[in-house]
Structure 1
Amino acid sequence: MVINHGISQSVMDCAVKAASDFFQLPSEIKEEFASEDFRQPVRYDTSSKDGISMSRAFLKHYAHPLSDWIQYWPQQPPIYREYMGKYAVEARRVALQLIEAILEGLGLGKEYLNEKFQEGSQLLSVNCYPKASQGATTIGLAPHSDYGFLTILLTSCLGLEVVDRSSNSWRTAQQLPHALNVHLGDHMEVLSNGLIKTVVHRALLNSEEARISIASIHGFALDEKVTCAKELVDEQNPQKYKESSFSDFLDHLTANMDNKQRNFLESLKTLGSRAE
């Protein structure tokens, strides 16, 4: 989790309100954005076709550069573009700061691949989970990891759980005031040649209220390949992952529509690292 990130509480609250107001719109308005094409600039769905959605509605859209994408965003509710746009810009600023710190921690230097990160993609996944009903399944989103380098997650209430790798058990992410959750993604694991592990997480339905979450996922540009940093590869630490791009990830999703257990990161591992 990150605090002192510089995003005002009002910007965060307004983004959650914009999301909540969108999901309260009549179905026919929301379904104008419905699509099974993962490459659509804006996509709305309520189904589990993606293999991990158990009980959620979501709106996904690109956000960087904002001037290129905001024209495709919903015009209803009227506050959506303004409020979500302000939050998107701020979330990206925080993500780039954190990425610099992580790269420095890996010994690569904070300017490492700076241009590719600056020109990279930002995908907002705006989610609405219903209030849990008695006797029904409590899983809103099945266990998964995010494809990119880093995800900044804003949530309206409790419901996020992450895997504690030391005990292989689920831990509830606490809801701290003015804090944001930070998930390291598949491509950060690849870039670090396995020194950093992707965060496996899931969403549970909250028994007291519907839950809004806004995931800001940060990666390279669509066709830009991510590979293990050559500085972190040697005889003792051979390359553990194949190179891939965001576009490859979308192809992987499309090709595995019926496979509920598909795992993008697993598909990137070399034979030696799979056996570990």
Structure 2
Amino acid sequence: MGSYTDVALIHEEVAVAPTFGSSLPVPNVQEIVKSDPLHVPERYLIKNQEDMPKDADHTCNLSSEIPTIDFSLLSRGHKEELTKLDLACKEWGFFQMVNHGVATEVLQGMKDAAAKFFELPVEEKNKVAMTSDDIQGYGHAYVVSEEQILDWSDLLFLIVYPSQYRKLKFWPTTPEEYKEAIEAYSIEVKRVGEELIRYISLIMGMEKDALLALHQELVQGVLVNYYPPCCMPDKVLGKSPHSDTSTITILMQEDNVTGLQIRKEGEWVPVKPIPNALVVNVGDVVEIWSNGKYKSIEHRAVTTESRARLSYATFLFPHDDVEVEPFDHMVESPGSLRMYKKVRYGDYLRQSLKRKMEGKAHTDAAKTAS
């Protein structure tokens, strides 16, 4: 029998935890691979030749140019590192972050527990399956029609902060250490993320705490993606091209397999893992606030033939009621156009979840008519 605190928390979550969207049920990709590793169902096969993954690892020379930001230098007030952050957000919208201070054992604890969860029998994982009216839990997101091409991946998505938004019925109880690993990892990423948002506030010409204050209450979600191996890696995508609806996203990659790609100068650029680094990308909220100076860049995930891959994305975003629009001082000169209209963040987020991930479609929908 649960304690009074447990019961109180459950009552509290029923009262206040919002629902962010829903997704149609589709087959479990991991089980498809287990039952027949040499077959890819038609619904996963990309039809457009241009979208098919190429071996970008060997053909793209932009990978080595993806910026690396030293978080410890930012923390010590180095102006040069702040300038590097400004350029990274402006020219790439993506950067790798080193010396962030999250302990290696915390990173590894999250990886180990998630790997154990995805190794469980499907019946066990389905104990925390998404329901028809929610995207928290185990399953698939952004599935809005029976006709769309599906992504070659399964996922677990949870809202972690504010803690009253948690829906504990979707939190895995097996393996036993998973809840603790999610908690430990999320606390640390929250700390780093809040500090990064402060630095973005500075490069946008505002007081250090201005952006965080505008969130009203910072919301944090964690998404673990599982990409099974695929016998036809050039014919499927692990995750369709999209930008993130967040303020910023902080991603932990596997150290020894590349799957994340970003669109830069018309080509897909692999983001090669740096051991223990975190990948950060600008989200749509910062793009709108900055009137397009800092862009949320399209990215996608590809698969490999030989091995599974996991990734761990943390989304930091505003409270539903926050109204997001370009700041006056970011509309660069008198007479310049505001590129985006004012949007209520909760409406913007839910509209994006009602459509398949398709590049920058949701940010384009927020643009003013030119």
Q: TM-score range by the shorter chain?
A: 0.7 to 0.9
Match of 1:97 in 2: 195
* 1:52 Cα deviation after fit: 7.7
**Partner residue of 1:79?**
177
Q: Secondary structure at the match of 1:139?
A: coil
Return the alpha-carbon distance in structure 1 between the equivalents of residues 355 and 245 of structure 2: 15
Q: How far apart are the structure 2 equivalents of 1:99 and 1:141?
A: 26
1:145 lines up with 2:240 in the alignment: no
User: Per the alignment, do residues 48 and 119 of structure 1 end up closer, same or farther by CA in structure 2, a change over 3 Å counting?
Assistant: closer
- What's the offset of the Cα at 1:252? 1.0
Are the structure 2 counterparts of residues 268 and 111 from structure 1 closer, same or farther at C-alpha, using a change threshold of 3 Å? same
Name the residue aligned to 1:44.
138
Query: Which consecutive unaligned segments of at least 5 residues does structure 2 have?
Result: 1-95
Looking at CA atoms only, which structure, 1 or 2, has the larger radius of gyration? 2
- 1:210 shift after superposition: 0.7
Q: Which runs of 5+ in 1 are unaligned?
A: none
Which stretch has the larger CA shift, 183-192 or 224-233? Answer: 224-233
Question: 2:258 maps to which residue?
Answer: 158
Deviations 1:55-99 (A, max 9, x none): 000111101124652734221221111001111111111111111
The TM-score normalised by the length of structure 1 is 0.87
Q: For residue 28 of structure 1, what is the amino acid of its counterpart?
A: E
Question: Which protein is richer in helix relative to its size?
Answer: 2
Q: Distance in 1 between matches of 2:292 and 2:360?
A: 20
State the shift of 1:45 in Å.
Answer: 1.3
Q: Aligned to 2:101, what secondary structure does the other structure show?
A: coil
The structure 2 residue matched to 1:247, chosen from 346, 361, 369, is 346
Distance in 1 between the 2:298 and 2:365 partners?
16
- Using the alignment, how far apart are the partners of 1:98 and 1:48 within structure 2? 28
After superposition, the Cα gap between the structure-2 partners of 1:122 and 1:48, relative to the gap in structure 1 and judged at 3 Å, is closer
Per-residue deviation, 1:107: 1.1
Distance of 2:360 and 2:123 partners within structure 1: 31
Identical residues among aligned pairs (%): 29
Aligned to 1:202: 300
Corresponding residue pairs, total: 267
Q: Which of 104, 109, 114 is the aligned partner of 1:9? A: 104
Q: Aligned to 1:109, what secondary structure does the other structure show?
A: coil
Is this contact kept in 1: 2:243–2:359, CA < 8 A? no
- Counterparts of 1:168 and 1:115, CA distance in 2: 36
Q: 2:154 aligns with which of 41, 47, 57?
A: 57
- 1:240 CA drift (Å): 1.2
Do the aligned partners of residues 121 and 269 (structure 1) sit closer, same or farther apart at CA in structure 2, a change above 3 Å counting?
same
**1:218 alignment partner in structure 2:** 316
